[in-house]
Amino acid sequence: MAKKYYQPEIETMPVDQIKALQSERLVKQVKHVWDNVPYYRKKMEEKGVTPDDIKGIEDLHKLPFLTKDDLREAYPYGLMAKPVKDCVRIQSTSGTTGKRVVAFYTQHDIDLWEDCCARALTAVGATDEDVVQVSYGYGLFTGGPGLNGGSHKVGSLTIPTSSGNTDRQIQFMTDLGSTILCCTPSYAAYLAESIEEKGVKDQIKLKAGIFGAEAWTDEMRHDIEEKLGIKAYDIYGLTECSGPGVSFECEEQAGMHINEDHFIAEIINPETGEVLPEGEKGELVFTSITKEAFPLLRYRTKDLCILSRKPCSCGRTHIKMRKPMGRSDDMLIIRGVNVFPSQIETVLLNEGMTPNYQIIVDRVNNTDTFDINVEMSQEMFSDSVSKITAKEKQLVASLKAMLGIQAKVHLVEPKSITRSEGKAVRVIDKRKLYD
Ligand code: DLL
């Protein structure tokens, strides 16, 4: 019989027991950080808090927040809570500006991280009979190593293709009969397109995909599901909290269960820092309660999100987070209007366009310009000029209805927007160059 890596004693634990477990682990973690991380101890002292003040999760709000600025200031070793001799690995962010974030792991940290990824794979149906193709980047990025370790724990045959080399990806997929694909949603869309072009869809045995590391809409999910003939699931995580597997979707495909035995989630008002009740939208904050080498207390992710503890039909009791609805820092303000790239993606896909688009914002004569390049399908490309112009007009109108401002839409040739093998570059904001 197929073996699963389901941990029902933890994943379906009654909510009061989860909270009791979190309280117990939080108290221990705060002491560990106080004793071993002078940087955070100083922050606690400045706020007048000591470990004695933290008796359970009800006291969490007393602790100071940590931000990316703290990580930069404490770079490289300032937030490490274990000596180098106890650590076995680092991973790092894909960020291109400022100092990179470097996260440290003991062997135990890696073990727990891989557990989280194994749970995520199990939730999309993986067993030891599956063939899991990991097309996330390997190396400093957490995507490849995390899902690779999770797949080993499940006992699946793991194909560590890493990202890129699309022809080789498809060859492995068809020759070895991959059943589960792990990569960014934009790379999944690109692979789907290439598979269609090669005419090898009937040789693909994929049944599910586990796609995350960047924002994607439900419209994009349906597009990928249809093109690849699979179920597409979301997975979330960040380097600062181990990597992928902080939360993952189950068969309901409606929100991601947070691994609450390892992470406590809060939603706060990004302006005031006030903790918001369940169901309200705000910035997601995580406290890692089991990490030894790089434990972050009340880390502000900048991801905007909503939490919900509504019972889930899969039986898991861990709280769910909605798909992040953008980042508090990624939101574009164009001519004074807040614009999220996900809103644009929703409109484009609802209008039957490809998921290949790029948003270009600039400032000319003190006015913001707002252009969206969208690739046409091969079919549309052979349409008459007047038909294409009409489609552009229609897109402008639909975008205006959604966003409240006018964008210039340019339908561009198929394949003219550079494809991404990792996280897609959706926005080019040239205004930043002048600030
Ligand atoms: O992206 C870890 C990861 C790898 C997650 C593979 C899922 C799959 P970072 O490079 O540190 O880590 O980027 C973390 O990416 O704060 C979010 O803004 C964004 N992000 C991650 N997953 C999702 C998702 C990895 N499913 C940052 N939906 C996070 C939307 C996501 N945004």
Kindly report the average pLDDT of the chain as a whole number. Answer: 93
pLDDT per position as a tens digit, 280-323: 999 999 999 999 999 999 999 999 999 999 999 999 999 999 99
CA-nearest of 260, 253, 214 to 237 is 214
Mean pLDDT, rounded, for 97-125: 92
Distance 292 CA to ligand 1 centre (A): 22
Query: Could you tell me if residue 125 is left (phi over 0), alpha (psi between -120 and 50 degrees) or otherwise beta?
Result: left
pLDDT of the residue at 340: 83
* Residue of 66, 147, 151, 214 to test ligand 1 pocket, by largest number of atoms within 8 Å of CB: 214
Give CA–CA dist 40/74, Å, rounded. Answer: 10
Best probe residue, ligand 1, of 221, 303, 304, 423 (max atoms within 8 Å of C-beta): 303
Asked if 432 and 390 touch (Cβ cutoff 8 Å), the reply is: no
Going by the DSSP 8-state scheme, the letter that residue 324 receives in this structure is P
Burial class (CB in 10 A: 0-12, 13-18, 19+), 336: exposed
Residue 55 vs residues 42, 68, 267: alpha-carbon distances, Å: 20, 27, 21
Provide the 3-class DSSP secondary structure of residue 302.
strand
Determine the pLDDT at residue 1: 81
What lines the ligand 1 site, CB under 6 Å?
93-94, 136, 142-143, 212-215, 234-239, 243-244, 301, 303, 323-324, 327
**For residue range 36-56, what is the model confidence (pLDDT) as tens digits?**
999 999 999 999 999 999 999
Query: Is residue 257 pLDDT above 70, yes or no?
Result: yes
Q: Helix, strand, or coil here: 389?
A: helix
Q: Which atom of ligand 1 is nearest to the CA of 141?
A: 10
Which has the higher per-residue pLDDT, 20 or 419? 20
Task: Report how far apart the first and last C-alpha atoms of the chain are (Å, whole number).
Answer: 61
Query: How much of the chain exceeds pLDDT 90, in percent?
Result: 82
Higher pLDDT among residues 368 and 97, named by residue: 368
Asked whether 45 and 288 are in contact (CB, 8 A), the reply is: no
- With beta carbons less than 8 A apart as the criterion, state whether 424 and 357 touch: no
Tens of pLDDT, residue by residue over 177-218, are: 999 999 999 899 999 999 999 999 999 999 999 999 988 889
Residue 91, classed as helix, strand or coil, is: strand
- From the CA of 102, how far away is ligand 1's center (Å)? 15
Q: What band does 364 get if pLDDT is binned at 50, 70 and 90?
A: confident
- For residue range 215-240, what is the model confidence (pLDDT) as tens digits? 888 998 999 999 999 999 999 999 99
* Cα of 152 from ligand 1 centre, angstroms: 21
- What integer is the mean pLDDT of 5-32? 96
Q: Whose CA is nearest to atom 1 of ligand 1?
A: 213
pLDDT tens, position by position, 324-352: 987 777 778 787 777 888 889 999 999 99
pLDDT value at residue 94: 56
> Using the 8-state DSSP alphabet, how is residue 405 labeled?
S
What one-letter code names the amino acid at 92?
A: S
Query: Quick one: pLDDT at residue 320?
Result: 98
Q: Confidence class of residue 420 from pLDDT cuts 50, 70 and 90?
A: confident
How much is the pLDDT for 433? 61
What's the one-letter identity of residue 283? E
DSSP-assigned beta bridge partners for residue 362: 369
- pLDDT given at position 154: 97
CA gap 435, 333 in Å, rounded: 14
Closest to 321 in 3D by CA, of 259, 399, 387, 398: 259
Contact 241, 263 (CB under 8 A): yes
Burial (CB < 10 A; 0-12, 13-18, 19+), residue 19, is: middle
pLDDT (tens digit per residue) in 56-109:
999 999 999 999 889 989 999 999 999 999 999 999 985 544 567 899 999 999
Residue 435 above 60 pLDDT? no
Burial readout 84-115 (b: 16 or more C-beta within 10 A, e: otherwise): eebbeeebebeeeeeebbbbbbbeebbebbbb
The predicted pLDDT at position 245 comes to 98
State which of 238, 321, 323 you would mutate to test the pocket of ligand 1, scoring each by most atoms of that ligand within 8 A of its C-beta: 238
Structure confidence at residue 23 (pLDDT): 98
